[in-house]
Amino acid sequence: MHPSTVRREAERVKVSVRVRPLNERENNAPEGTKVTVAAKQAAAVVTVKVLGGSNNSGAAESMGTARRVAQDFQFDHVFWSVETPDACGATPATQADVFRTIGYPLVQHAFDGFNSCLFAYGQTGSGKMYTMMGADVSALSGEGNGVTPRICLEIFARKASVEAQGHSRWIVELGYVEVYNERVSDLLGKRKKGVKGGGEEVYVDVREHPSRGVFLEGQRLVEVGSLDDVVRLIEIGNGVRHTASTKMNDRSSRSHAIIMLLLREERTMTTKSGETIRTAGKSSRMNLVDLAGSKRVAQSQVEGQQFKEATHINLSLTTLGRVIDVLADMATKGAKAQYSVAPFRDSKLTFILKDSLGGNSKTFMIATVSPSALNYEETLSTLRYASRARDIVNVAQVNEDPRARRIRELEEQMEDMRQAMAGGDPAYVSELKKKLALLESEAQKRAADLQALEREREHNQVQERLLRATEAEKSELESRAAALQEEMTATRRQADKMQALNLRLKEEQARKERELLKEMAKKDAALSKVRQRKDAEIASEREKLESTVAQLEREQREREVALDALQTHQRKLQEALESSERTAAERDQLLQQLTELQSERTQLSQVVTDRERLTRDLQRIQYEYGETELARDVALCAAQEMEARYHAAVFHLQTLLELATEWEDALRERALAERDEAAAAELDAAASTSQNARESACERLTSLEQQLRDSEERAAELMRKLEATAAAKSSAEQDRENTRATLEQQLRESEEHAAELKAQLESTAAAKTSAEQDRENTRAALEQRLRESEERAAELASQLEATAAAKSSAEQDRENTRATLEQQLRESEARAAELASQLESTAAAKSSAEQDRENTRAT
């Protein structure tokens, strides 16, 4: 073999079909909707029977247009796994049969250095996972295990056999990814949380290299040494893979899963000096693809998130079908094909499988179908899909470095020479020994050069990784600097906004204060008017009271004169009684008249006393009514003033709370963006200060609300008292009118009796004394009310001073906030300078790394 020759092989995609047994749902279907698929395993032919007859015509119409002619499909292999024999009487195929036909050649291709791929396609619930993984996906070993664990077991057995010869060793690495909703997730990637649904997804990017082909950037590959390692990793991946239960399948895959096995050969050579030289040998990649089943929404009965997943699955499978059609058309028609490029990039799945379809790979496809007429349309579609894929031609080549291939060829030649030297002619053997020595020398020299080249390549790869890391760090620093610059700009904008808000707050506060002062001036003027009016009413009532007292005094003097006359008359009568010589009958009559006169005098005195009491009550009620009205007006003024102050305070506190909330959110965002402990501490302090200010403001607001409620309750109580007083006044006036009428009637009657004059005189003296007492009480009450008004005025002045103090405190808080913002701005500028310095250092490091790389390349 010439050293420059690369082994290439062109062959079709090998397509197999597996027919699974009927499941419970299908067995319970009507008799006419049973088996519609027949197979001949020996001829690798699958026949789809006609859907006809009276028994199943309704089912055929419900599932779409029924075929009236049986259709035969030719494949490379057919596996009939139904319990009954196939059309030729062959026994059902087992998992071992599938592996011997498909899995074993894949392992052979992998150790020959060819890339290979096996992907399973079919309707959901048609047996793809059983074929690929086995009966129990949580335990991949045993008699029912699928193709994947059997392939891994064969790889490790072949690996042990090759390594036992001592010339080379094989390294096996495993990767496990899924394509979910058109995003590629690494199922073996390191997650912060190890539970499904609780940990974050580890997404990787699909890239394409000119020589390496398609690869996954950032994928985690784990070296495995046994089947137990493979089982453990696959179980870990299955634990985070997206699956769900549908009407068609209890554990339906919601994503396409790909198990990637990477095999690398490392060859060893021992020189005459005993030095061991290790060089790279063959390498291969094996993709084991479990495609998610096509979803018929009506049968699966999915909705919500599962409906979205089914849409993505069907879209990617449709794209895969288009790629297969284009590749098959290109393979059969050549230059006359409609398309010259397949749409691999239309889907992440087809992009990953680009090398496996029409590229550098030996590809096997196994299509799984159901024999039931319930799935007639899906089975027919799958068979057409698989039959079309047979037309695709791949060109696979051995993945081996040309230098390593030349060394391997030299070793093979040396081995042939050693065998030829056994029992040969001495001259020929001597010549072979010389050639063998030359070959050994050349092989060792090439191996040493290759080893040095690989070391240099590894060094360059390390340098490239460092350079990429440096560039990534530089990019990160630049992004952080840009973010910091944006934050500084936002901070400046926030400061300007805060300053404008402070100015607006000052203006609003000044306007509120002016309005409050105007309102207080209006209230003071109204209160002054009310006081003047009440003073005038009190003066008028006092004048009326003095007039009444003067009238009572005049009446008292008149009654004293009448009493003197009565006493004179009585004395005369007594004298006449004593000196008269009237008869005992006349004297008894006079005594009786005197007794009646004294009785009438007593009654008249009682009536006068009642009248005076009612008069005093009426005057007291009038006075209390006036005082109540005055207190009500004062309370209303105070309540209005308190309400105005309450609204002003609420506006001020709400403004402060909004400012505190804005700054707290800004600080929290900055702390989360920079992940800086100092910023987090500052955020905690600011949050604590803001919380304390909020609590203080809430307490103050609660206090103001309580004061307002108390004022409203006092106003309501005063209104109730005022209404009660008005009712009492009305009742008293009515009583006074009635009493006046009664008294006038009694006075007219008492004028006829002299004893009434004496009683009126006595009651007048008592009324004078009572009036003086009432006047003193009235004066004392007025003085007490005046003192209370002065105390209320002092309290209002104190509250005004408290408002001024609160305003001063708010201004002080605003100044402190401004100082804090300026300090934070200075700190942000300092951090920006520090990041700029780090950026310069990174640029210098990058320049140094590039210089080292240039020096290395020059060397």
pLDDT at 60: 42
Taking only Cα atoms into account, the Rg of the chain, rounded to an integer number of angstroms, comes to 56
By DSSP bridging, strand 213-217 and strand 205-209 are: antiparallel
Q: CB-based contacts of 628: which residues, under 8 Å, 6+ apart?
A: 718, 721, 722, 725
Could you confirm whether domain 11-400 is CATH 3.40.850.10? yes
Other C-beta atoms closer than 10 Å to the C-beta of 65 total 9
Tokens of 473: 């760090």
Alpha-carbon span 239 to 223, nearest angstrom: 20
Other C-beta atoms closer than 10 Å to the C-beta of 184 total 25
pLDDT at 693: 57
Alpha-carbon span 498 to 817, nearest angstrom: 10
Task: Locate the domains of the chain by residue range.
Answer: 11-400, 405-465, 466-580+590-854
Phi, psi torsion values for 194, nearest 5 degrees:
-95, 10
Tokens of 815: 């100044």
Tokens of 433: 């020994």
pLDDT at 241: 83
pLDDT at 310: 62
Output DSSP code: residue 99.
I
pLDDT at 177: 93
Tokens of 38: 């027949």
pLDDT at 16: 95
Overall size of the chain counted in residues = 859
Q: CB-based contacts of 144: which residues, under 8 Å, 6+ apart?
A: 95, 134, 135, 136
pLDDT at 79: 94
Q: Could you tell me if 719 and 685 are in contact, meaning their C-beta atoms sit under 8 angstroms apart?
A: no
Cα-based distances in Å from 619 to 352, 541, 544, 613, 622:
107, 9, 10, 10, 5
- 3-class DSSP state of 368: strand
pLDDT at 291: 87
Phi, psi torsion values for 114, nearest 5 degrees:
-95, 140
Other C-beta atoms closer than 10 Å to the C-beta of 791 total 10
pLDDT digits (tens, 9 = 90+) for 441-497: 666 666 666 666 666 666 776 777 677 667 767 777 887 888 888 888 888 888 788
Alpha-carbon span 96 to 113, nearest angstrom: 25
Amino acid identity of residue 438, one-letter, is L
Question: Given the structure tokens 């600097």, which residue do they identify?
Answer: 481
Q: CB-based contacts of 351: which residues, under 8 Å, 6+ apart?
A: 206, 208, 214, 344, 345
pLDDT at 600: 67
By DSSP bridging, strand 45-48 and strand 37-40 are: antiparallel
Q: Which positions of the chain have pLDDT values less than 50?
A: 1-4, 32, 53-67, 194-198, 244-245, 247-250, 295, 297-302, 304, 679
Per-residue burial over 393-428, b = 16 or more CB atoms within 10 Å of its CB, e = otherwise? ebebebbbbebbbbbbebbeebeebeeebeeeeeee
Task: Please calculate the CA angle 784-788-790 and round it to the nearest 5 degrees.
Answer: 115
Whole-model pTM over 0.75: no
Question: Given the structure tokens 């050693």, which residue do they identify?
Answer: 418
Cα-based distances in Å from 796 to 498, 706, 792:
34, 17, 6
H or E stretch covering 116: strand 116-122
| Sequence-distant contacts of 57-60: CB under 8 A, at least 24 apart | 59/30, 59/32, 59/33, 59/373, 59/374, 60/373, 60/376
